[in-house]
Structure 1
Amino acid sequence: RLPALWSATHPGRHGAGRFAQFPPSTHPSTVLRAALLALGLASPAASGPLVDTATQIEAKLAANDTTGAIDTARMMLAQVWDTAPTLTFTESTLVAQNATGYGVYNPRANNQFKQGTPILIYCEPVGFGYGSPGAGLYSVNFFIDLQVLDSAGNELAGTPAVTEYNMPSRHQNKEVQANITYNVDGLKPGRYTLITTLRDKNSDKSGSFQTPIEILP
């Protein structure tokens, strides 16, 4: 076992938006229909819950019910989300400092670290479930496991649940980011691969990603 300290944090989220006018060729209903055609969902032969939901979105857009269309689109995303068999990641990368929100991060210039330097990783998990802690809240919860492999692929350390991620929210957030900090003071100079695994506490799903690093003298 490496003499290390592990932590994961989850900064707040920031964002802004506005309504916009679209020319006919780029109106959301036109774009949606083009996307459905590309997926084969807009043909008369297509059927199923996703097609039904997409039809509802088009109807709401045609009625200028933008808010209703967005709410229904979220339902469609949830339908796809729930069918994911495992956790996946839209991003997993080394960062220069902890992110301050979803997508608000600065990638690290390289993967080289002096001994004793904390290793900061940013990731965006997808497909997780939600807990119900009460008081009208939802929660996103993971155990985070770490494996360390040497340059030959041999496992040097494997620590389940080195830390946890727990985030309460009033919404079933889909844009969730985790900042993971590894202190691997026991590693000698050389090349290594860190395998990070998130295990969802609210479903049977899990997912992993690999991060190559090099420890310098």
Structure 2
Amino acid sequence: MKSIVAVLMALAISAPAAFAGEISDRAAEAEKALQAGDGPGALEKFRSAEDALWQAMPLGVQNVKQVDTAGGFGIYSERANHIYKPGEKVVLYMEPVGYGYGSDGLGNSQIALAVDLTVLSESGEPLGTFEKIGSVQVASRSHNRELFFKLDLSLDGLPPGKYRCDFVMHDQNSSKTAPFTTDIEIAG
């Protein structure tokens, strides 16, 4: 019995280490190519390590900001505060990572993401859940990693007060999901 437990523990420990080894091995190959003066080859090897990391990582949402405008990846004007007039649109900028790639049927890779929202009162009481309030689809010949998602929210009907918005992003090309949260206030 002890030997079975030892084997299972060894497998549990070695599986993540083996995958991490693949990533670091590819990165080491990139470093060797760079030291040999092969910049393009080094970049190709490094991108191979990045591909392995990207596939292994969970879906995540970084750099969630309430913004006045958003025009591209890293191109936004952050809002000065999180206080809105009744009926005013809430605009969010975010950068998803770790998503999968599908096909658009035309030879392109396709990124497809959707977002659900649950609005909670200041005390944490759920006030409503809304599925697929926003989505983005991008077809490209490349596996783009610099992707921004702009979400325009209309929260008409909310009375003055403070609210928490709990989101769940869904990768349409995998079973990956990622929660994220932001707070807002409707002025009285």
Length-normalised TM-score, structure 2:
0.86
Taking only the aligned residue pairs, the percentage that are identical comes to 34
Contact 2:84-2:185 within 8 A present in 1 as well: yes
Name the structure where strand makes up a greater proportion of residues: 2
Alpha-carbon distance, 1:58 to partner: 1.3
Alpha-carbon distance, 1:117 to partner: 0.6
Contact 2:101-2:143 within 8 A present in 1 as well: yes
> Aligned partners of 1:123, 1:51: CA distance in 2, in Å?
29
Tell which has more relative contact order, 1 or 2 (C-alpha 8 A, sep 6+): 1
Structure 2 gaps of 5+ residues are 1-19
Please say if 1:63 is aligned against 2:36.
Answer: yes
Please say if 1:124 is aligned against 2:80.
Answer: no
Contact 2:114-2:136 within 8 A present in 1 as well: yes
Contact 2:23-2:52 within 8 A present in 1 as well: yes
Q: Which amino acid aligns with 2:41?
A: G
State the SS of the aligned residue for 1:61: helix
> Aligned partners of 1:154, 1:66: CA distance in 2, in Å?
55
> Aligned partners of 1:153, 1:87: CA distance in 2, in Å?
25
Please say if 1:146 is aligned against 2:117.
Answer: yes
> Aligned partners of 1:124, 1:164: CA distance in 2, in Å?
13
Q: Which amino acid aligns with 1:81?
A: W
Q: Which moved more, 1:140-149 or 1:63-72?
A: 63-72
State the SS of the aligned residue for 1:81: helix
> Aligned partners of 1:112, 1:143: CA distance in 2, in Å?
25
Runs in 1 of length 4+ with deviation above 3 angstroms?
none
Q: Which amino acid aligns with 1:215?
A: I
Name the structure where helix makes up a greater proportion of residues: 2
Please say if 1:88 is aligned against 2:75.
Answer: no
How big is the alpha-carbon RMSD for the aligned residues of Structure 1 and Structure 2? 1.2
Alpha-carbon distance, 1:116 to partner: 0.8
Deviations 1:142-174 (A, max 9, x none): 121011000000100101112321111111111
State the SS of the aligned residue for 2:72: coil
Q: Which position in structure 2 is the counterpart of 1:77?
A: 50
Deviations 1:116-160 (A, max 9, x none): 110000000111100111222011101210110000001001011
> Aligned partners of 2:186, 2:24: CA distance in 1, in Å?
51
Choose from 108, 112, 117 the match for 1:137: 108
Q: Which amino acid aligns with 2:90?
A: I
Alpha-carbon distance, 1:96 to partner: 1.2
Pairs within 5 Å for 1:1-217: 48-84=21-57, 86-97=58-69, 99-217=70-188
Structure 1 gaps of 5+ residues are 1-46
> Aligned partners of 1:51, 1:212: CA distance in 2, in Å?
38
State the SS of the aligned residue for 2:167: strand
Q: Which amino acid aligns with 2:81?
A: N
Contact 2:24-2:49 within 8 A present in 1 as well: no
Length-normalised TM-score, structure 1:
0.75
